[in-house]
Amino acid sequence: MLPSGFQYSQSSMQDYVDCPRRFQLRYVESQPWPAVQAEPFLEYERHIERGATFHRLVERHQLGIPADVLESGIQDNDLKAWWRGYLGFDDVHNMDGKRYPELTLSADLDGSRLTATFDLLVVLPGQRIVIFDWKTYRGRPSKRVFASRLQTRVYPLVLCAAGAGLFGGPVNPVQVSMVYWVASYPNEPIEFEYSEEKGATDRDYLQSIIKDIDRHQNNTIWLLTSDMSRCKYCEYRSLCGRGDAAGQFAELDNNHDNIIDSIVIPSLEDVEEVGF
Amino acid sequence: MPESWFLEGPAGAGKTTYAIQYCHDLVRNDVSPEAILVMVPQRALGRPYQLAFTGSDWPNGTQIDIVTLGGLARRGLEMFWPLIADKAGFAHPEWEPAFLTIETSQYFMARFVNSAVKTGIFDSINVPPFRIMGQLLDNMSKAAVNGFLLDEVADRLITAWGDRHSSRPSVYRAGVDIAQHFREYCLQNNLLDFSLQIELFMNHLLSEPVYRNFFASRYGHLIADNIEEYFPVADDFIRDVWQELDSALLIYDTDGGYRVFLGADPGGMHVLRNLCDHIEIITETRVISPEAAALVSEFDHLLALNSLPPLLEVNPGEIITIASHKFYPDMIEWVVARIVELIAQGIPPGEIVILAPYLGDSLRFVLMSRLEEAGIAAVSHRPSRAVRDEPAARAALTLLALAHPAWEYHPPAADVADALHQVIDDLDPVRAWLLAQIVYRPGRDELGSFDGIRAGAQERITYRAGEKYERLREWLIRYRSEADEVPPDHFFSRLFGELLSQPGYGFHADFEAGRVVAQLVESARKFRRTLYPDGVDQWDAVTHEYFTLVQDGVLAALHVPSWQQQEEDAVFLAPAYTFLMRNRWVDYQFWLDVGSNQWWERLEQPLTHPYVLARNYPLDQVWTDDLEFRYRRDALRRLLMGLVRRCRKHIFMSITSLGEQGYEQRGPLLHLLQQIVQRYGDVQEAAE
């Protein structure tokens, strides 16, 4: 049913939890639907682009390009503020350990593949691994909101299952923590410690989602979300008969900010080879 | 390097399977997956690796990078840009680069080409401007992938032209002048077309210590598959990083080299075997029957000139059926009837391909329609079919024009009728034509209202359709007051989401229209973001510019991506080379119109030359008819052997006395088949 080679990710699973029909259209059908997600469109696009640029800056920095070289290229004031906030985020800079920016790990979960791309992993072999995730939301969601996101459950689980090679041996969940750093609130990181208990609960939960997905038939229309407010920011709203106008970017609350998480930084798969 | 292997064999010998197992072994021996770099010449050929590395038997851990050289270059440039921009001569190294697509490259090239065309320099070659742009960009790519300077392009083309009396040498020089102006413009504006990406990667990034350090600490193991399809600079790249690797496995497909016309260098890549400690050569394929192998040998013998005739132990005629028809439609009926029979026997549609040397619109349409009528799933791929020619895109573009009467572009009434038919659910072509005749007056500011139509005509059109038409009309009128605030991609997205895909409109639940309009939006978005990255105060002029460039054939010229579709269980209809580059095996192949000369003809491209602009072509050699004949023959040999090696059971070949254009067909493939029939006698010949 799912395309061969499909790997679950936090965003695809979040899509399923939010709206099974959206999951079906995006991942089972791979169906492009070019409606607007949020208005004013250009403002929304600029926000997404700024977030992608920030991620790239941090990756460059973590790969060893000096901060002053990077800063000289920043024209946008908001971006510069985020960047300076990042430079002042001592927790990440002072931490010992090997750094892995933009690293992807994948693990088998009952015959399905679960993948996570980490903004930054800092690894002290045999001792500790910290997941850093940069968020370029306009607001600062509460810890409770972060706790409810699937990312908070998928990332540590994948790291425990697939991080042994980086860690130099099996990763015990208590050695893992995850830090969300919101660019507009650089001094208020949100940290989650992981545990065996959480690991077991998360594994059960994610397995139940995958089992639920597997029970579906592709020749039927999967369940549409009952929370119609989600449809305002979903490109498939016209296909589902759920409205004609995109939601307002200004009203996009943190519960819906996950659409910004799904920004696709061009992958190698998208690169055109010469083809005239 | 501790260990290196060169593995050579024909398609179907199990080389990629071996490479995947090799990756398993590396990981089992504690090599971290992210230390493995898998290189392929184009992304479709990375698919078996992608599937293997996401299978349930693949160990947990980091991921293996599967890249093309272009992909590796782009990713490196994106990430390490601040370190090389200044050294590479960019006027604004502090700005981020803009990676150009083929379309946006053509756009920037257009300004130089158009002014040169006005001088008359290209009058002698009779090629439209957008093809000149394409061929000049092709020359730049050829220079980059061969490691030439741009000047060498002109030198090579002029030398190869010889002393034929013609204006061609000055045309070649003019082409290179334009390319140099384009390059200078790119350097001034941080624009990176494909050729510049490759040059920057090879000439700057690879020697940048930070990148080099990153590369060496990241990758220890290289698997390079299908190297016969690589560009010469890939050879340079492999040699450059060779000593820093812990192991390498290079895989070469004997008799491959289907991308020579794009710059691939199978001969040069074969020399890489000399670097390797171990050389393994497989001669047998595991996929095809002895009869197919005999047919491969026959083609090899007949076309390679120097090979020995195969032994007559097996009759290659047993895997082919040849059917002769007088006219093209008869051939199509025969093909469809055979496919219906196969499917009735339980053959999955995905095990059948229909191949033609070129796939024209009418052939594609007729075949797809006939298969659809027969209830058979089919997908087609025709790289030369532009997005703007798809009906859904045409409708969206017509509505864009209607929304901007100030442009004074008046679409033909037939286009307006077609757009109305496309986008309004209840409007058949006859009613759409009637409606268009009444409401559309070229030159009038807006479409007429449905309410203003006489009652009799309203009834014929139907009130239901009229109501939807009225909503469309009002949407277009309302949009006009906002046109300055709406970029072209946003126009298409809004029109699609707010109206055309709403219930009751033609694109609602029309997945194909969704795909096509998404591609159109993408084309407009790339145009806007590349040309106007900081935005403009008034978008109307930009939208007009985009529309004009689409009309001129510069933009929206790429096809709708369909490579994913090949995995559907559907009959696949494609040009023969497209199928080959997918590296796919099927049970049954249908070769259309085997009498056509197109099976061995190459595209007429007066400004470029795939063989002369190649590193291994002697600088002082004139291109002669004899060389043309030899290269064509070799290309045909590779093509035919490649196709047969990808067929497990049977090939149906059809001949028509008169081709699609009504000319008599006596191409070289037909001649070869006649020789095989004479030699073996009992080739199956289908009765009409």
| Partners of residue B84 in chain A, C-beta under 8 Å | none
Q: Is the peptide bond before A40 cis (omega within 30 degrees of 0)?
A: yes
User: Of A7, A31, A269, which has the smallest distance from its Cβ to B43's Cβ?
Assistant: A269
pLDDT of residue A273: 43
Q: Are B193 and B138 in contact (CB under 8 A)?
A: no
pLDDT of residue A118: 97
**Is B78–A56 a contact, with Cβ atoms under 8 angstroms apart?**
yes
Where residue B354 falls among pLDDT bands split at 50, 70, 90?
Answer: very high
Where residue A187 falls among pLDDT bands split at 50, 70, 90?
Answer: very high
Asked if the model's pLDDT at residue B16 lies above 90, the reply is yes
**Is A65–B210 a contact, with Cβ atoms under 8 angstroms apart?**
yes
More confident residue, B317 or B116: B116
**Is A275–B490 a contact, with Cβ atoms under 8 angstroms apart?**
no
**Is A53–B496 a contact, with Cβ atoms under 8 angstroms apart?**
no
Where residue B444 falls among pLDDT bands split at 50, 70, 90?
Answer: confident
pLDDT of residue B567: 60
Using CB atoms and an 8 Å cut-off, which of residues 96-125 of chain A contact chain B?
Answer: 103-108, 111-113, 115
**Which candidate in B27, B53, B62 is best for mutational testing of the A interface (most A CBs within 10 A)?**
B62
Using one digit for the tens of pLDDT, what is the confidence trace for B579-604? 998 888 999 999 999 999 999 988 88
pLDDT of residue A267: 35
**Is B51–A5 a contact, with Cβ atoms under 8 angstroms apart?**
yes
Phi, psi angles (nearest 5°) of residue B660 = -60, -35
Integer Cα distance of B141 and B6 in angstroms: 28
**Is B54–A5 a contact, with Cβ atoms under 8 angstroms apart?**
yes
User: Of B75, B493, B509, which has the smallest distance from its Cβ to A239's Cβ?
Assistant: B509
**Is A30–B564 a contact, with Cβ atoms under 8 angstroms apart?**
yes
User: Of A34, A105, A115, which has the smallest distance from its Cβ to B518's Cβ?
Assistant: A34
Mean pLDDT of the A228-255 span: 89
| Partners of residue A38 in chain B, C-beta under 8 Å | none
By C-alpha distance, the chain A residue nearest B140 is A274
Mean pLDDT of the B381-405 span: 88
| Partners of residue B383 in chain A, C-beta under 8 Å | 275
User: Of A29, A34, A272, which has the smallest distance from its Cβ to B102's Cβ?
Assistant: A272
The mean pLDDT of chain A is 90
| Partners of residue A34 in chain B, C-beta under 8 Å | 492-493, 496-497, 514, 517-518, 520-521
- Minimal CA–CA distance to A135: which of A187, A89, A182, A91? A182
Where residue A272 falls among pLDDT bands split at 50, 70, 90?
Answer: very low
**Is A238–B517 a contact, with Cβ atoms under 8 angstroms apart?**
no
pLDDT of residue B327: 84
- Minimal CA–CA distance to B252: which of B278, B275, B282? B282
**Is B511–A275 a contact, with Cβ atoms under 8 angstroms apart?**
no
Using CB atoms and an 8 Å cut-off, which of residues 16-55 of chain B contact chain A?
Answer: 32-34, 41-43, 47, 50-51, 54-55
| Partners of residue B490 in chain A, C-beta under 8 Å | 36, 41-42
| Partners of residue B514 in chain A, C-beta under 8 Å | 31-34, 239
Place of tokens 């990629």: B16
**Is B50–A5 a contact, with Cβ atoms under 8 angstroms apart?**
yes
Mean pLDDT of the B27-39 span: 96
Q: What is the DSSP string of B58-72?
A: SPSEE--EEE-HHHH
Using CB atoms and an 8 Å cut-off, which of residues 499-518 of chain B contact chain A?
Answer: 499, 501-503, 508-509, 511, 514-515, 517-518
**Is B47–A164 a contact, with Cβ atoms under 8 angstroms apart?**
no
**Is A111–B145 a contact, with Cβ atoms under 8 angstroms apart?**
no
Using one digit for the tens of pLDDT, what is the confidence trace for A63-98? 999 999 999 999 999 999 999 999 999 999 999 999
| Partners of residue A60 in chain B, C-beta under 8 Å | 79-80, 82
Using one digit for the tens of pLDDT, what is the confidence trace for B403-443? 999 999 999 999 999 999 999 998 999 999 999 999 999 88
> In this complex, is the C-beta atom of B216 within 8 Å of any C-beta atom belonging to chain A?
no
Integer Cα distance of B248 and B254 in angstroms: 19
**Is A65–B65 a contact, with Cβ atoms under 8 angstroms apart?**
no
Q: Are B457 and B534 in contact (CB under 8 A)?
A: no
Using one digit for the tens of pLDDT, what is the confidence trace for A95-133? 999 999 999 999 999 999 999 999 999 999 999 999 999
State both tokens at B413.
Answer: 């009434």
State both tokens at B128.
Answer: 């439209």
To the nearest whole percent, how much of chain B has pLDDT over 90? 77
- Least confident range from B373-382, B494-503, B610-619: namely B373-382
pLDDT of residue B553: 81
pLDDT of residue B677: 85
**Residue B442 carries which DSSP code?**
T
To the nearest whole percent, how much of chain B has pLDDT over 70? 95
Range list of β-strands (E), B10-97: 36-39, 61-62, 65-67
Using one digit for the tens of pLDDT, what is the confidence trace for A11-51? 999 999 999 999 999 999 999 999 999 999 999 999 999 99
| Partners of residue A276 in chain B, C-beta under 8 Å | 102, 134-135, 137-138, 141, 262
Asked if the model's pLDDT at residue A183 lies above 90, the reply is yes
Q: How many CB pairs under 8 A join A and B?
A: 179
The mean pLDDT of chain B is 92
**Is A6–B60 a contact, with Cβ atoms under 8 angstroms apart?**
no
**Is B34–A33 a contact, with Cβ atoms under 8 angstroms apart?**
no
pLDDT of residue B685: 66
**Is B213–A64 a contact, with Cβ atoms under 8 angstroms apart?**
yes
Angle, in degrees to the nearest 10, between helices B129-146 and B168-189: 70
SS (H, E, C) chain A: CCCCCCCECHHHHHHHHHCHHHHHHHHHCCCCCCCCCEECHHHHHHHHHHHHHHHHHHHHHHCCCCHHHHHCCCCCHHHHHHHHHHHCCHHHHCCCCEEEEEEEEEEEECCEEEEEEEEEEEEECCCEEEEEEEECCCCCCCHHHHHHCHHHHHHHHHHHHHCHHHHCCCCCHHHEEEEEEECCCCCCCEEEECCHHHHHHHHHHHHHHHHHHHCCCCCCCCCCCCCHHHHHHCCCCCCCCCCCCCEEHHHCCHHHCHHHHCCCCCCHHHCCCCCC
> In this complex, is the C-beta atom of A210 within 8 Å of any C-beta atom belonging to chain B?
no
User: Of B32, B80, B83, which has the smallest distance from its Cβ to A165's Cβ?
Assistant: B32
**pTM, rounded to two decimals:** 0.91
**Is A268–B51 a contact, with Cβ atoms under 8 angstroms apart?**
no
pLDDT of residue B247: 97
Using CB atoms and an 8 Å cut-off, which of residues 409-438 of chain B contact chain A?
Answer: none
Using CB atoms and an 8 Å cut-off, which of residues 111-150 of chain B contact chain A?
Answer: 134-135, 137-138, 141, 145
* A215 Cβ neighbours under 8 A, 6+ residues apart: none
**Is B213–A113 a contact, with Cβ atoms under 8 angstroms apart?**
no
Judged by DSSP in three states, B624 sits in coil
Using CB atoms and an 8 Å cut-off, which of residues 230-249 of chain A contact chain B?
Answer: 235, 237-239, 241, 244-246
Asked if the model's pLDDT at residue A270 lies above 50, the reply is no
Integer Cα distance of B322 and B594 in angstroms: 9
Mean pLDDT of the B135-141 span: 96
**Is A162–B61 a contact, with Cβ atoms under 8 angstroms apart?**
yes
**Is A32–B518 a contact, with Cβ atoms under 8 angstroms apart?**
yes
> In this complex, is the C-beta atom of A73 within 8 Å of any C-beta atom belonging to chain B?
yes
Asked if the model's pLDDT at residue A263 lies above 50, the reply is no
**Is A64–B210 a contact, with Cβ atoms under 8 angstroms apart?**
yes
- Least confident range from A48-57, A244-253, B349-358, B617-626: namely A244-253
pLDDT of residue B262: 87
Where residue A271 falls among pLDDT bands split at 50, 70, 90?
Answer: very low
Where residue A269 falls among pLDDT bands split at 50, 70, 90?
Answer: very low
**Is B78–A239 a contact, with Cβ atoms under 8 angstroms apart?**
no
Integer Cα distance of B53 and B19 in angstroms: 12
To the nearest whole percent, how much of chain A has pLDDT over 70? 91
Quick one: CA dihedral B253, B254, B259, B265, positive or negative?
positive
| Partners of residue A104 in chain B, C-beta under 8 Å | 62-63
